[in-house]
Amino acid sequence: APAVKNFTLNFTITNLQFTADLQKPSSRRFKSTEKVMYHYTDSLLQKSSIGPHFTGCKVTGFRSGRHRDDTTVDAVCSYKDNASLVRFDREKLYQELSTMTNNVTKLGHYSLDRSSLHVDG
């Protein structure tokens, strides 16, 4: 069976104000924001080159961004590593995600910090 491999995904949302309850995985705000992030990240990654091998992302946390109203999203995403996947190319995936988020500016109704997208870095 193919091995499941993980990579990290981080980005900062500039129109989601960070609040203390976003640090508590048991809070209602954490859970609802996490659900929205799954919706957006999963649909993007399913459309990417790793799409057929992509198995999902898990939000590992939210933290305060550089500015008061920013929230940084930390996630660990997984894919099945098998022969039909040429090799995991984080640069290529970064480019694809960058393009799909309008040069790292939009994720659904959220605005992104252009310099905040990191794939496995």
Q: Where are the domains of the chain?
A: 3-120
Homologous superfamily of 3-120: SEA domain (3.30.70.960)
Distances (CA, A) of 46 to 16, 23, 38, 119: 24, 27, 12, 15
Task: Give every CB contact of residue 100 below 8 A, 6+ residues apart in sequence.
Answer: 44, 47, 48
State the SS3 of 29-90: HHHHHHHHHHHHHHHHHHHCCCHHHEEEEEEEEEEECCCCCCEEEEEEEEEEECCCCCCCCH
What one-letter code names the amino acid at 80?
Answer: K
Task: Say what the pTM is.
Answer: 0.92
Mean per-residue pLDDT, 89-106 = 96
pLDDT in tens, 62-94: 999 888 789 999 999 999 987 666 678 999 999
